[in-house]
Amino acid sequence: MPKFDKKKLLFILALFLFQKVINASDELNPKIDSLKNVIESQEGQNKISAYINLSEILYHSSLLKSIEIAKEGIEYCRQVPDVLGEIKLLNQVGLNYRILGNYQLSLENYIESLKLAEELDNENLIGEINSNIGNVYNYLGDMPKALDYYETSLVIRQRLQDSLAIAKSLNNIGNVYKVIDQNETALNYFNESLRLKLAHSDSLLAISTFKNIGSTLINLNRLNEAEKYYNTSYQLELRISDSLGIANSLIMLADLYINKEEYYKALEAVQNAKRISEKLNAAFFILRSHYLIAEINEKLGLYKNALNAFKNYQTMSDSLNNVEVRKHAIELDAVFDRYQKDKAVKELEITRQTLFRNVYFIIAILVIITATIIYIRYREKAKISKEIIEKNKELESAIEKAEKANELKSDFLAQMSHEIRTPINTILNYTSLLRIEFEDKCSPELKGSFNSIENGAKRLLRTIDLILNMSDIESGTFEVIKRDHSLNKDIIQPVLDEFRSYANSRNLELKFDHNLENDIVNVDAYTITQTLVNLVDNSVKYTMEGSITIKTELINGYKSISVSDTGIGIAPEYLPELFSKFSQEEHGYTQRYEGTGLGLALVKQYCEMNGAEINVESEKGVGTTFTIIFDGKK
């Protein structure tokens, strides 16, 4: 088969996309001109309907122009007066400001429209506006408040038995559960929403739900399934030439490609999304594009490009009320879940008429397509079955090789441990003898050399222990022996004795704050001591000035040890991966601090083996506190 250049294919796809967007703009121009003529030449309901339709159309191509038209319409509705038209236009303004990132003005317009809807006692509008207000709080990251508004909207819509509106509320509620990482619950809401929407025989109504199911499947690491849902929503948006929707889909596809490590495809998609978003002044999408471009360039090793993109992201983020960088997973659910009822009715009518004219032709086409699909699937299944058999054989061979390699690794590590420990212990013994012999006679610089030798040798021994213990844990041969031990006497004091000279050599104060009358815990002394050694070693390593404090106390009735320092601290985005193997915040940038990256991963394992929990609190530039809570799992 001929080989295709992937970059050329991506470039052709980009050209096709922009041609679609340009063609859509050209097709809308006559309709826009027609509506402007109605506004200029007519009065009453026709003029109000033209304001509403024009502001909704401009929403897809120019948010600022849409706001301008909607505000003109609001003033006209107040003169007539027409409260219903005013409510619809206020909602359109609220939606536009939300996409522009001005959440305060968005809320002001929605709340004003809600008051008018309540005066009219119009439950349809009250339910819709509550949902819109929930969307704003969703964007702001206030999930409890967003959920309150979504559930209020759902109750109203269930009372009205409006299945399509109920589907929208279920979609929004599912989005909240997705953001708070309750992905299975979210998926249940989205699937029910999708079922109700598809029952209306119009897949266009389900675009936002397709996207939400896709992003939830990414969270569940079901990437291939997610790609199918994303492509479905993307094709539907191309079909209706929804520029804003296309930009959103490209952003979501870029995020998917990052997860699949297809970085060039991700970069192409997000750059196209950024161009479309800039044309529409869609601030939230532009902001998200900057962040993804920075992330992709970093993955590709293009650090200068990544830095420039991140600076653009940071500058824009500050102007949008400092939306936090960690909000990677904010869903853009409700932006596109608002297809006009009039437009849906017209499209349904056109579809019905076309169906009556072409019913026999469509049936024939469907039969041909069905037969073709069945044949293609049969061929694919046969091919896949053959590939699976071959892959299973390869997998069995790979497993056998991996098991042999693991055995060799364990033997090698055990042998190397013995070979390395012997000379290191010799170094420590001779250093101790030299200190005893010459400490009173030598200069402060030489005394410091003794400390450096001892500290370096001890650190190397600890590193060997880390590697061996991690290997034993992974192979299932590591055992803990739990007995009653005094936290102070058996665990903390030996650690203080070991690190006091090391801390003094760095001009750091090592403090102990003991607040337990009964400090007996049932643990494996070795693993808990090694846990404390790792935490104190990190604190000394990452603290330039100030102090390190070991503290014992009761937390909610459970005994605990905490290690606090005044060091460099850890940025919030690194905390979730802190206990992963080879995870260091500075790694890959400056490599200023030494370390294997295994320590905290092993600390987590040690704590779990002892039935203890470990938590961390940190602020960049202020310091870090690690807390071990014994028997903390109720």
Q: What is the mean pLDDT of residues 418-441?
A: 72
Q: What is the pLDDT of residue 488?
A: 94
Element (H, E) at 483: strand 483-486
Residue 380 pLDDT > 50: yes
Where are the alpha helices (H) located in 334-479, listed in sequence order? 341-438, 444-475
Residues of the chain with CATH 1.25.40.10: 6-339
Residue 342 pLDDT > 50: no
User: pTM surpassing 0.85?
Assistant: no
Residues of the chain with CATH 3.30.565.10: 483-629
Residue 396 pLDDT > 70: yes
End-to-end distance of the chain based on CA atoms, in angstroms? 61
Q: What is the pLDDT of residue 74?
A: 92
Q: What is the pLDDT of residue 598?
A: 62
105 neighbors 320 (Cβ within 8 angstroms) = no
pLDDT tens for each residue of 156-197: 999 999 988 999 899 999 989 988 899 999 999 989 988 988
> What is the three-state SS of 433-472?
HHHHHHCCCCCHHHHHHHHHHHHHHHHHHHHHHHHHHHHH
Residue 304 pLDDT > 60: yes
From residue 390, give the alpha-carbon distance in Å to each of 59, 160, 384, 587.
53, 57, 10, 40
Residue 623 pLDDT > 70: yes
Residue 8 pLDDT > 80: no
Q: Strand pairing partners for 277?
A: none
For the chain, the average pLDDT equals 81
Q: What is the mean pLDDT of residues 479-485?
A: 91
Q: What is the mean pLDDT of residues 334-347?
A: 40
Residues of the chain with CATH 1.10.287: 357-478
Domain 357-478 has CATH 1.10.287: yes
- The CA distance from 583 to 49, in Å, is 58
The CATH number that domain 6-339 falls under is 1.25.40.10
Q: What is the mean pLDDT of residues 377-391?
A: 84
Residue 501 pLDDT > 70: yes
213 neighbors 189 (Cβ within 8 angstroms) = no
Domain 483-629 has CATH 3.40.640.10: no
Q: Which residue has the higher pLDDT, 452 or 579?
A: 579
Q: Which residue has the higher pLDDT, 65 or 364?
A: 65
Tokens 């019905």 belong to residue: 352
Residue 425 pLDDT > 90: no
Q: What is the mean pLDDT of residues 226-250?
A: 87
Q: What is the pLDDT of residue 337?
A: 39
